[in-house]
Chains A and B, each alone.
Chain A
């Protein structure tokens, strides 16, 4: 997600569009990104640390974005 102090023009555009469609009461919109990583084997602390590193190095730019890593069980497709 863009850090709170960083302007989010895309979020602002969405926020502007909502009332035009009749949706009211939204005071702010922030737009971020979600990456779904399929991990081989069990998600151990080591694997998690590695994913944190991926988030820090490539997936996000820590200068302007915050990130959180969530682990979800794989779903049968």
Chain B
């Protein structure tokens, strides 16, 4: 599959995400924030970083980048979209995902190898995992606290829209230890930790993140 990775001004992890896409067995296509053209891709990754310097709110300005009109339209039509960290923030600001991400409750930037439980393996990004599988991947964020009103939290818990949950410690004050969520349709996934940094033994804390990039193929051949 052709997987587009969008580069915004201030994206940091776009090249790592492209690499992870290739290691996962898919073709990576570089997409540019100022270009409304999705270049015929089958899926999209919004990578981590500090797009537009996190000005106004994280993801608030990127949401209105020309490429995002096309991404939002494609996402609503069912295209798989994965937002990692800043990408997750952009998807929440775009209202493609419920909730929002605010500053960590302890007010410090956090960088650690974080244990997660995959709570929903029915999305195109998590199909390679077992339901309930525990994976350790890198987490690094300053504004990673997932929040939503009680009604929304009850709804997404009830509908199985929580994709991943923090284990051992809650690193940023996220409500109900939520590390990642999906939309009602299940094609759009936002994740605060960084699976693209856990795809090779040489660097990072293992290869447990690879599943997010091999899932697309698994799903296609399932």
Contacts and interface: CB of A to CB of B under 8 A. Distances in A.
Interface string A37-77: 00000000000000000000011010110000000000000
Chain B, interface size: which category?
Answer: 20 to 34
Nearest to A60: B57
A58 B102 contact: no
A7 B145 contact: yes
Nearest to B152: A63
Contacts, number: 37
Chain A, interface size: which category?
Answer: 10 to 19
Interface stretch (B92-100, B192-200, B213-221): B92-100
A61 B173 contact: no
A9 interface: yes
Contacts of B73: none
13 contacts: A2-B102, A6-B102, A7-B173, A12-B107, A58-B56, A58-B60, A61-B57, A61-B60, A61-B93, A61-B100, A63-B92, A63-B100, A63-B148
